[in-house]
Structure 1
Amino acid sequence: MKWSVLISLIYFLSDVEGLKVLICFPLPVKSLSILGQGAVRHLMEAGHDVTYITVYPLKIKAKNFRQIDISTNTALVASDESLTMEYILNHKLERNPPNQVQEFAVEALKMTLNHENVKKLLEDPNEHFDVIITDLIESEVYAGLAVLYNCPMVWLYSMGAHWQVLRLIDVASNPAYDPDYLSPNMPPLTFTQRAEELWSRIYWQYLKTFYTQPEERSIYEEVFGPLLAKRGRPLPDYEDVMYNASLIFANEHDATRNRASTPQNFKYIGGFHIEEPVKPLPKDLQDLIDNSKHGVIYFSMGSVLKSNSMPRKLVMDLLQMFGEFKQTVIWKFEDNSLQGVPKNVHIVNWAPQPSILAHPNVKMFISHGGQLSSLEAIHFGKPIIGIPVFFDQFTNIHKAAQNGYALRVPLSQNLPRDLKPAINTMLSDDRYAKQVKELSDLYHDRLTKPGPALVYWVEHVVRTRGALHLRSPALHVPLYQRLYLDLLAIILIITFSIIFLLIRLCNNKNGKRNDKKKSN
């Protein structure tokens, strides 16, 4: 009996021990790479061999780690002036055009699959992987990697349960209560907002169906067709591959309101990128924050938006405004040449954000509202003053305000004037700090921490050969059946047939009466 238990245990462990994992994060977006690094870290610590396709190479030397450098993808954003603060101030939009996002994803896709380092990996017939984990933003062609290596596919999505993602493993949620991730609207929606969301979904699907997806299909066939032919295997249809994911990880958590319902193979692992315990602060920052008697205000616009691309006058006005507070202000600003910096303002080119937010002396976080920053604010229990700029930032800040721990300030030339009363409100009203503490408690009150949860579900997918038992049956039901259009058609046919027969009967009776009248 003991031997049988031991053999069973060894078999169970050997089923997941030492997996070969391919992680692909191809977009030249620094914040997304942080998620990729988090997945790499947790899977390596669990003893798995990781191959990492990345735009931002890591300084890691380990036997179970290899990276495929595609840093040339940064050329996509290197000269993009639309990512500068000055351009955004002059051309402000609260909703990014979906065609731009789709085009950006396709261009990154082309650069990645045509990169010599990636081609070398894909063309090696001796390579094999047990599972593929890929960043999911607007393009599903990377699912071809799972076809090539004949293994399960796991998407890692940087946001929450949005319809564009849910449609890949279940039924897309209803636009009456689930806004697009590019939308500033938040439920409950007004009539006008519901119309906006319905139209944005129709427009997105139109672009995807008639423009983006045909191009993606062509890329899929051109890249993976020859690779599979060399291995003596046929290429599956692109749409079958698109909808064949075993699991989707979402960088969100259960504590927020107004989340769409999700299928069993959609897992929330928000916050898995945060290292625990956090790394110690550099000594100068540690001393600065420790000795700040009135607390610290931390200001950062993230990794994509550069504060030094603000108009110079706006920068000087912000410095003057910050100088009027007795609190210490730490501003992540990518320039050491600033003149006239007040004594209470500390400029840093790079900020160890989690380590700063973990310090109890930090009173608030002035942020652009990116998803990672939003999660870190909740993780460490810090209220937010949000200055959303683009992409999902409007949604994140609206959600934070709705949850009671954030104030929103619009990005404009009047930012210093609008920001000052918001800071004063948050310093004088402790409701925001209390609310985020409650939300933080909810966030941390989960059965498993997000990092170990990621590892468990990856191993589970491999162990169960694709986790077919978690998949939603709705994915395989055609739209006309889900909407009962066939039943509706039958009802209409029967109804119109009865009406037609009744009309014929009435006409026949009327004809006979007329014949009798004529004969009389």
Structure 2
Amino acid sequence: MAKWTLFLMSVLSSLYLSNAYKILVIFPLPGKSHSILAEGVLNQLSRAGHEVTYVASIIPAKPIKGVTVINISDYLKLPAHLMNLKSIMDNKNTDRFSHLPSMLNMSRNAINNVPVQTLLSDKTQQFDVVIAEWMYNEVYAGFSGVFNCPLIWFSTVEPHWMVLQLVDEVPNPSYTVDILSGNVPPLTFTQRVMELGYQIFGKLLKIYVSSVDQEIYEKHFVSHIRNRGYPVPPFEELKYNGSLVLSNSHVSMGIATRLPPNYIPIGGYHIDPVVKPLPKDLQKIIDDAKHGFIYFSMGSNLRSKHLPAEVKQDLLNMFGELKQTVLWKFEEDLPNRPSNVHILKWAPQQSILAHEKCLLFITHGGLLSTTESIHFGVPTIGIPVFGDQFVNVARGVKKGYAKKVDLSYTMAKDLKVAIQEMINDSRYMKKIKELSFIYHHRTVSPGQELVHWVEHVIKTGGAWHLRTHAATTPWYQKVYLDLAIVLLIIMIAIKYLFRYMCCSNGKKVLANYMKKQN
């Protein structure tokens, strides 16, 4: 009996392993929110039984079954000045693309290091697919060239023209907005001109980015491709060879957008379907909150302790005037706190938002926080700081479940007005519950969606059947410039033919007339 049991187990094990794929996941950006998204991908693929190699600068706190980590934390650091709230408040005129050089430099460092170069040079390493995070450049497409396998782009933001053009075409800026914009359709005349300007400037900027990507590709990828005996594809061909885009988005959070069949929204896949219980001390604070509580967090990268001292004191004074309990995610203790204000150096955000007494979420407007607020149905007050936070908050305001407060030295006063309005007006809660229903009303969970499409790309050899010709059709053919040239040539030919015929007939008429005169 024991022999048959062992035999059956070995058969089942072999069947299980035969469905396992080797997947390379590239999420090197040293930001906590990005690592949360990456670990969500790892967890979903691990549960499906796949073998994953993960290139990362923030290592998972606990080992994940089937995941091998390539640690590059020594080579990537997030520039401190980009995340300092006081520096941002004192320099309002920061260029919207000031982060780009840092992003490019981090991409270079993510490839040009010993662990990654060792991985690339190891000819025994082979993968069935590469999943690479898109972050304003496409240099990670080089990994799919080295391992000669399909590429899946991962977008951490709502549908954006720079990502869409990798698998389809640039959407019309008259009704779609840039990810760094604060506009929301329908757009006014001025806003349409702005979006057109953003897109034109972005395209010019991409010329520079592409040249840097090309240099990194030739220096750090091409030799490995040759060593494996593969033909070296042009970088332009590689970056547009993505099988699909997995997008951390959903229509409930953003706006309805025309998407190609290989653009897959999976927003919310990182959220654990089982809400973890709150720590006992936090549970007691919430149980004692007779009037409910407000949760305040500026995210995982920004630090509330960097706020100017006077702003922190103004916020404490303002929160102390509220009857609601306030949970403030803060990195250090604050002296002389009002009795209703509680500091959380670490906050189990999903468990907090899931609690029925949570009335309001004050947030920086990051997409993870936006996703979780809609998932759990909690209205928000957004204090955007940089990146896509402005457009995320603007969409929330437009949808009717959020209000915006500017990051400023007087924001405590503005915040109090927003809190009182949202607490006393049931429309905000009603609207977020409606959107939460839309968010949850899907055919399958976003985690299942993620695993399905990754496996689909592998099983179909790159999902070529999902790719539209929009990405490969030249722009002059899209606008029928070649037809216009042909028509112009025909019109010119007709004009000259008509003129020639008129001149020939004229000469004959004149010759006949002269003969008659003679």
Q: What TM-score, normalized by structure 1, do the two folds share? A: 0.92
Deviates more, 1:16-25 or 1:479-488: 16-25
Secondary structure of the residue that 1:440 maps to in structure 2?
A: helix
- 1:175-211 deviations in whole A, cap 9, x for unaligned? 11111101111111122211111121111111211x2
Secondary structure of the residue that 2:204 maps to in structure 1?
A: helix
State the partner residue of 1:102. 100
Among 132, 135, 146, the alignment partner of 1:134 is 132
Deviation at 1:30, TM superposition (A): 1.4
Q: Distance in 2 between matches of 1:175 and 1:192?
A: 12
Deviation at 1:277, TM superposition (A): 0.6
Q: Distance in 2 between matches of 1:55 and 1:257?
A: 29
Deviation at 1:151, TM superposition (A): 1.5
One-letter amino acid matched to 2:144: A
Matched, 1:197 2:195: yes
Q: Distance in 2 between matches of 1:320 and 1:507?
A: 93
One-letter amino acid matched to 1:124: D
State the partner residue of 2:218. 221
Among 360, 377, 381, the alignment partner of 1:381 is 377
One-letter amino acid matched to 1:38: G
Asked if the contact 2:362/2:380 (under 8 Å) is kept, the reply is yes
Among 415, 418, 422, the alignment partner of 2:418 is 422
State the partner residue of 1:7. none
Label 1:104 to 1:509 Cα distance change in 2 as closer, same or farther (>3 A).
Answer: farther
Label 1:370 to 1:94 Cα distance change in 2 as closer, same or farther (>3 A).
Answer: farther
One-letter amino acid matched to 1:89: M
Among 345, 349, 353, the alignment partner of 1:349 is 345
- 1:452-483 deviations in whole A, cap 9, x for unaligned? 11111111111111111111122221111111
Q: Distance in 2 between matches of 1:439 and 1:503?
A: 68
Asked if the contact 2:46/2:64 (under 8 Å) is kept, the reply is no
- 1:56-104 deviations in whole A, cap 9, x for unaligned? 1113335512101111244342xx324211111111258712xx34322
Asked if the contact 1:357/1:377 (under 8 Å) is kept, the reply is yes
Asked if the contact 1:269/1:450 (under 8 Å) is kept, the reply is yes
Q: Distance in 1 between matches of 2:373 and 2:18?
A: 34
Aligned residues: 505
Q: Distance in 1 between matches of 2:412 and 2:446?
A: 37
State the partner residue of 1:18. 20
State the partner residue of 1:72. 74
Q: How does 1:314-329 map to 2 (within 5 A)?
A: 314-329=311-326
State the partner residue of 1:454. 450
Label 1:15 to 1:478 Cα distance change in 2 as closer, same or farther (>3 A).
Answer: farther
- 1:231-286 deviations in whole A, cap 9, x for unaligned? 12221110110111111100011324533211111100001111111222111111
State the partner residue of 2:280. 283
Asked if the contact 1:384/1:405 (under 8 Å) is kept, the reply is yes
Segments of 4+ moved more than 4 angstroms: 12-16, 500-517
Q: Distance in 1 between matches of 2:273 and 2:94?
A: 35
Q: Distance in 1 between matches of 2:357 and 2:64?
A: 37
State the partner residue of 1:92. 92
Matched, 1:313 2:310: yes
One-letter amino acid matched to 1:275: D
Asked if the contact 1:152/1:465 (under 8 Å) is kept, the reply is yes
Secondary structure of the residue that 2:350 maps to in structure 1?
A: helix
One-letter amino acid matched to 2:60: L
- 1:215-241 deviations in whole A, cap 9, x for unaligned? 211111111111122212221110110
Asked if the contact 2:253/2:374 (under 8 Å) is kept, the reply is no
Secondary structure of the residue that 2:52 maps to in structure 1?
A: strand
Secondary structure of the residue that 1:318 maps to in structure 2?
A: helix
Among 164, 171, 174, the alignment partner of 2:172 is 174
Among 48, 51, 58, the alignment partner of 1:49 is 51
Asked if the contact 1:161/1:259 (under 8 Å) is kept, the reply is no
State the partner residue of 2:475. 479
Q: Distance in 1 between matches of 2:372 and 2:466?
A: 30
State the partner residue of 2:239. 242
Q: Distance in 2 between matches of 1:132 and 1:228?
A: 15
Matched, 1:394 2:390: yes
Among 225, 250, 255, the alignment partner of 2:252 is 255
Deviation at 1:498, TM superposition (A): 3.3
Deviates more, 1:382-391 or 1:192-201: 192-201
State the partner residue of 2:33. 31
Deviation at 1:494, TM superposition (A): 2.1
5+ residue gaps, structure 2, are 1-11
Label 1:444 to 1:220 Cα distance change in 2 as closer, same or farther (>3 A).
Answer: same
Label 1:206 to 1:350 Cα distance change in 2 as closer, same or farther (>3 A).
Answer: same
Asked if the contact 1:181/1:392 (under 8 Å) is kept, the reply is yes
- 1:409-432 deviations in whole A, cap 9, x for unaligned? 111111011111100001100100
5+ residue gaps, structure 1, are 1-9
One-letter amino acid matched to 1:152: P
Asked if the contact 2:254/2:392 (under 8 Å) is kept, the reply is no
Matched, 1:432 2:432: no
Label 1:178 to 1:146 Cα distance change in 2 as closer, same or farther (>3 A).
Answer: same
Label 1:426 to 1:202 Cα distance change in 2 as closer, same or farther (>3 A).
Answer: same
Asked if the contact 2:76/2:109 (under 8 Å) is kept, the reply is no
One-letter amino acid matched to 2:231: P
Secondary structure of the residue that 2:221 maps to in structure 1?
A: helix
Deviation at 1:124, TM superposition (A): 1.1
- 1:274-333 deviations in whole A, cap 9, x for unaligned? 111122211111111122110010001111211111100000001000000000001111
Percent identity reads 45
Deviation at 1:16, TM superposition (A): 6.5
Q: Distance in 2 between matches of 1:156 and 1:441?
A: 25
Secondary structure of the residue that 1:476 maps to in structure 2?
A: coil
Q: How does 1:142-157 map to 2 (within 5 A)?
A: 142-157=140-155
